Each structure stands twice: as structure tokens, then as C-alpha cells.
Amino acid sequence: MSSSFQAPKGVSEYVPPRSAAFLAARDAYARAVTRAGYGYIELPVFEDTQLFARGVGESTDVVTKEMYSLTDRGGRSLSLRPEFTAGVVRAVLEHGLHKGQLPVKLWTTGPAFRYERPQSGRYRQFYQVDLEAIGTEDPAVDAETIAVAFDWYRELGLTRQRLLLNSLGCRECRPAYRALLQEFLRGLPLDAATQARAEVNPLRVLDDKRPEVRALVADAPLMIDHLCAACKAHHDTVRERLADLAIEWVDEPRLVRGLDYYMRTAYEFEHPLLGAQSGIGGGGRYDGLSEDIGGPPLPGIGFGLGLDRTVLAMEAEGVAATAQRACDVYGVPLGEAAQRRVFTLVAELRRAGVAADMAYGGKGLKGAMKGADRSGARFALILGERDLAEGVAQVKELATGEQTAVPLDDIVTILKGKVR
């Protein structure tokens, strides 16, 4: 009989065995970013609402429609984080990390929250892995962040993802382009909501996924054709560094990203097997974000990659990874005295670094061996009253059925050698 309660709508949950792929992907990410010199940061799940309003952008859908906000008992407006970057930059400034060696290279992971219409790959509580490099304008760092993501996907066995790349200009060249684009959009028969968006953030109209809007803006001027000399040189260098690493990309001049802080480099990874929600992660440069939230000029670049969508992509390609084996040795005690000895042996195996579990509840041999098979263990450690009297236990390799009597005093040493 199931409970009358269910998880809230739009929440992604992972239970065994599928949770193994989620954990394996997250662990592989930790290895990839650590190799690249990024340090771990743990952030609060909620922040001052104004951090996101000023950092992400008050006109964005994220802030105006999708944030989970509340007023606490002290009258403060707080919001569950809809993304990580604003919080990371806030933490860098608050803890003075920017006063040390630059760039500050950080990574984190965990849930984020947006009130969206739930569908496959799009959740109200979703999981991301995040990376930020703060304190440099060097375009090689832009390429490095892409390379870290690329290498992570490759380590997971993904081969079908595509990298889309664009430049959004800077605060020098974008205002003139923005005015040009607005003039173009004002001449189109757009619906009222899209017209309003064009007045606040016209670049996001170019990223509209509706076919009728795409058709109307097909001849719109593009930022890539109006970059200043510095932005063009920056973008060219990013592309050169990616070519040096043999990372293929597709130039996508309409790629905007949904947050206002992006400028210069913007990129997205998409996976063709995921249907309408094909984006599996993306990022870009946010050189003005520190100033937007009251800090000093501090350029930065980073990404947020969807763990949920990465797992879906792994499953779509048939490369769903598995986490570290949950159990190497499974104890099968037959009788009360044997149960007590197996209990201590399992604890000793764990302390020796061997993943071990055992049958509980006084199960017979048949039921306990079913448990051993379900555990995924390589070996069953079988101990009955006769074995106990003789000072041995039966070690059975479950894949082959081969069984050997091993002295109880040698069990931990021998099994530790077998599972390494």
C-alpha cells in the first residue's frame, strides 16, 4: 500500500537503480573540474531576492514569472535560487576571494528552482553542475570552461551533443546594436507580449522558439555583425582555442541565453535525441555582473549544465553509467550464532574499504542468496553452524558459482585482495 502523499509536481526524483547514473554523472563531474584546478564552494539554497533581481535581470522570465519567493518572519524577501552564478559572485565578493589569485575558479552542484510548466527534462526543482572562473577577460578561459564541459560529456560516453557558439558583444558595442534591433522589431506585427519584451530586452526576441516569431525575425540584424574590434578579437580567439583542442562547434548568431548578465561569449550544448527540450547545458561571460550587484569591476565566465538532462541524454544514447559497486561482499548467516559473527565480519570488511552488506531478519539460505544476487555483490560470505564450529566460512563467487572454504581469521584479508 502506497502513501497518500506524492512528491510535488515538477520535481525530479532519483531512486535505485536509476539514481546510480545520476550519482555517476555527478562524481565524474567532480573529477573533471578538480583536474582543471577548480575549488568547491557550497552555497545557500535561498538568497536575498534582490540579488537575483539585480543580477539575473528584473525583466527576465526567471525573475518576473519563475522564482519561488517568500517573506520570512523578519520581513525579508528571500528566493530559492533559480541559478548559481549570482550566488557564486556574491560569495566571492563577501569572502574577499577576488583579492587573492585571479581568476577565482570555483564549482558547485545541487538543486535550483523555477516555477515552469513541467515536462520531460524541464522541472521545477532541477539539478545542475556549475563552474565559474572570475577575475579575468582572457578568452582562453572561455575556451577552458567549454573544454571542461566537453571532457565531462565525453567521459560519460556521450557522442551526439552539439556545441552552439555566439558572441553577444559588450557594453560598448551592444547599445547601438540594441537600438538597431529595436527599430527593426517595431516594424513587425508581433503580439503585445513580444512587443513589450522587445522594448525591455530585444535580444531575447531572437531566441523565441515559436515558428511564427522565428519567421518574422528571419531578416533581423545580428549582434555578430556589429561587434566592436575588441569583441571580435575576443570571439576569434575563443574559436581559435577551441580549434586547438579539436572541439567542434556550430556558429549560432541567434543564440542569446535567457539571463540578462551575459555578454561576449555565449554557448549552449544541445542533444538531438531529447526532442523539444534539447538543451543540456550552457554558459557564457558575465563581465558586468559584479558591478550590477554592488561589487567592483570583475569579469567572469561560467556555465550551468543540467544533471537531469545529462542523465536523459545518457539514457537516450544507451550509455547510462553506473556508480561505484554498492556491494562487493554479501553475508549469508545461517543461524543466530552465525548472524552475530557475520555482523562483525561485515563491519570489519567495511573498515578495510570493502563494500559489504548482509541478510537480515533470519532468512533461510534460499532467501538470503536471492538478496545476494540482488545486491550486485561479487562474493557471498556464507556461514552456518558447522562452518562456525570448524572456524571457516564459505566464500562463493556469484558469477561462476565457485565456492571455497576460507579460515575466519583470514576472511577480511583474502576478500580485500579479491575485490581490489
113 and 242 co-located in one domain: yes
Angle, helices 192-200/174-186, rounded to nearest 10 degrees: 160
151 and 281 co-located in one domain: yes
Domain coverage including residue 48: 19-173+227-317
309 and 356 co-located in one domain: no
237 and 291 co-located in one domain: yes
Q: Residues 203, 185: contact at Cβ < 8 Å?
A: no
pTM exceeding 0.85:
yes
Distant-in-sequence contacts of 10-13, Cβ < 8 A, 24+ apart: 10/116, 10/118, 10/123, 10/124, 10/125, 11/123, 11/124, 11/125, 12/123, 12/125, 12/126, 12/127, 12/308
Q: With respect to residue 151, please indicate whether it lies within any of the assigned structural domains.
A: yes
163 and 307 co-located in one domain: yes
The span from the CA of 113 to the CA of 127, in Å, is: 9
Bridge pairing between strands 300-306 and 69-71: unpaired
Q: With respect to residue 206, please indicate whether it lies within any of the assigned structural domains.
A: no
410 and 275 co-located in one domain: no
275 and 309 co-located in one domain: yes
Domain holding 391: CATH number? 3.40.50.800
127 and 264 co-located in one domain: yes
Q: Residues 173, 287: contact at Cβ < 8 Å?
A: no
The span from the CA of 390 to the CA of 419, in Å, is: 25
Return per-residue pLDDT of the chain as tens, 420 residues. 567 899 888 898 999 888 989 999 999 999 999 999 999 999 999 999 999 888 776 656 676 678 889 999 999 999 999 999 999 999 999 999 999 999 999 999 999 999 888 877 789 999 999 999 999 999 999 999 999 999 999 999 999 999 999 999 998 998 899 899 999 999 888 888 888 888 888 888 887 778 888 899 889 999 999 999 999 999 999 999 999 999 999 999 988 876 667 899 999 999 999 987 789 999 999 998 999 899 999 999 999 999 999 999 999 999 876 556 678 999 999 999 999 999 999 999 999 999 999 999 888 899 999 999 988 899 999 999 999 999 999 999 999 999 999 999 999 999 999 887
B/e letters for 141-162, b = 16+ CB within 10 Å, e = fewer, are: bbbbbbbbbbbbbeebebeebe
287 and 357 co-located in one domain: no
The span from the CA of 252 to the CA of 163, in Å, is: 9
Q: With respect to residue 324, please indicate whether it lies within any of the assigned structural domains.
A: no
Q: With respect to residue 197, please indicate whether it lies within any of the assigned structural domains.
A: no
The span from the CA of 3 to the CA of 290, in Å, is: 47
User: What number of other Cβ atoms are within 10 A of residue 227's Cβ?
Assistant: 23
Identify the domain boundary among 296, 317, 338: 317
Q: DSSP assignment of 86-134, as one string?
A: HHHHHHHHHTTGGGSSSSEEEEEEEEEE-----BTTB-SEEEEEEEEEE
247 and 369 co-located in one domain: no
The total number of structural domains in the chain stands at 2
Identify the domain boundary among 261, 282, 317: 317
Nearest to residue 354, comparing CAs of 370, 376, 330, 388?
330
Q: With respect to residue 180, please indicate whether it lies within any of the assigned structural domains.
A: no
Q: DSSP assignment of 20-88, as one string?
A: HHHHHHHHHHHHHHHHTTPEE----SEEEHHHHHHHT-TTSHIIIII--EEE-TTS-EEEE-S-SHHHH
Q: What share of the chain is helix, strand, coil (3-state, %, to 5)?
A: 40, 20, 35
231 and 337 co-located in one domain: no
Give the pLDDT confidence score for residue 280 in this predicted structure.
94
